[in-house]
Amino acid sequence: MTAHTPQATAINEDSLHALIGGVLQDLGGAFSVPLVQMGESLGLYQALSEGGPMSSQELAAETGLFERYLREWLSAQAASKYISYDPATDKFSMTPEQTFVFANPNSPFYLAPAFGAAAAFQQNLPMVEAAFRTGEGVAWGDQSRCLSCSVARFFRPGYENHLTKEWLPAISGAVEALEAGGEVADVGCGHGVSTVLMAQAFPQAKVHGFDFHEKSIDEARKHAREHSTPNVDFHIQEAKDLPGKYDLITLFDCLHDMGDPVGALKRIRAALKPGGSLMIVEPMAGDSLQENLNPVGRMYYSASTMVCVPTSLAQENGAALGAQAGEQRLRKMIVDEAGFASFRRATQTPFNLVLEAKV
């Protein structure tokens, strides 16, 4: 057996420099993951946003933190353009746009929690690398202990800004059913962020959260108690065993994680009351790889490699749909394979496809 020797090829200097420039940008972002996490947890972005231009000494006085560490952190953040620096005054500040992304938890583009998710993905590395060799999955409960918390924080801004204001009104009859005291099953509810938001917005409705991960359900129940939502309850339950009948069933960013999504959809179809609706929120994706070769697709393909595909492969059937399935693949699965009578894109955001299916 002879070793393969790659043929020498001429290097295009412009292409090489462009590639290196992109890689350096990526490495800067990767190295920034713990810094953004600290900036968020220590309140540094909020302090800069609210306090106006500050030197490292002034930020230290404001926060009670050690100036030398802050000086280095500020320099790194300015180099990343996550904050702004004025060399004339040697002070740091945040533009409205930087605040919108890093210091405003109510913004739909509050992306600081995504860096926490990136850190959790890194902790999954040994398990996922081993799974590449065996083809086995990595169960959700076996993954990084902070993963479910990070994922909940990452999705929260989108849910808070869009769920009750845009997504539910786009689903035929959903708002009317909830206002009239209808019942909702939030399947794959995780920490219950979406579940509690619906319960708060529609106090007459009965909202039930279901998830197969016991620790997530524990967090969801705690979340509900903190927000005083008596019309919500949570249950440890797989989608394929969903009990009851509902006016609305929701799947938030979880269908692609299921081992048997078609089996789950068939059970969900049977659990809908006449005239009821299924709302499916999935990551934004086109129907081909070429359409998804963009910053959003890049992020979701990476997350899918480290979390979504391993989670699905660890379950029965292991469909491994992936986070970039695309609308046409979802349509085929929901209508042709699971038997729903209708399917449509109800609305969308830069990060989400919001789909409606009816019996």
Q: Which residue has the tokens 């809908």?
A: 272
| Residue 285 to residue 349: CA distance in whole angstroms | 11
Residues in the chain: 359
| Residue 337 to residue 357: CA distance in whole angstroms | 13
> What pLDDT does residue 74 have?
98
Residue pair 234/303 in contact (Cβ under 8 Å)? The answer is no
Helix axes of 112-123 and 33-41: crossing angle, nearest 10 degrees:
130
CATH fold of 13-104, please? Arc Repressor Mutant, subunit A (1.10.10)
| Digit-coded pLDDT (tens) for 112-131 | 999 999 999 999 999 999 99
Determine the average pLDDT of the residues in 196-222.
95
| Digit-coded pLDDT (tens) for 11-43 | 999 999 999 999 999 999 999 999 999 999 999
* Token couple for 259: 């081992």
Which H helix or E strand runs over 93?
strand 91-93
> Is the pLDDT assigned to residue 288 strictly greater than 80?
yes
Residue among 116, 55, 62, 57 nearest 86 (CA): 55
> Is the pLDDT assigned to residue 2 strictly greater than 60?
no
Residue 148's pLDDT band (boundaries 50, 70, 90)? confident
Domain boundaries, the chain: 13-104, 113-358
Residue 3's pLDDT band (boundaries 50, 70, 90)? low
- Domain 113-358 in CATH 3.10.450.50? The answer is no
